[in-house]
Amino acid sequence: MTARIPHRELRNSSGKILHAVADGENFIVTNRGQEMALITQVPSDQSEARGLRLRPATRALNMDVDTLVESSMPTSEMLEGLRDD
């Protein structure tokens, strides 16, 4: 049986959930009640694994490196200035 869990539970209990996955359990992760992801073990059989479209878990931030600026002002001061706006 596949358990449904909200994404908040995944965030707060990821270690416990991954241990359960290692024991053969599957989870459907929901966001605002909508099914978003399936967490299951990666198959150990290479022929079965080839059928999966696996992508890296990390995604690059959509950030232009040329726009980064160095500043001597502490971040807390920058944030305080933004709050005043």
> Of the candidates 32, 49, 31, which has an alpha carbon nearest to the alpha carbon of residue 40?
49
Distance separating alpha carbons of residues 79 and 85, to the nearest angstrom: 10
Domain ranges within the chain, ordered by starting residue: 1-43
Q: What is the pTM of this model?
A: 0.54
Q: How far apart are CA 50 and CA 52, in angstroms?
A: 5
Q: Tell me the per-residue pLDDT of 44-64, one tens digit each, with 9 for 90 and over.
A: 776 666 666 656 555 545 555
Specify the pLDDT at position 66.
Answer: 57
CATH assignment of 1-43?
A: 3.40.1620.10
Name which of 12-16, 61-65, 67-71 the model is least confident about.
61-65
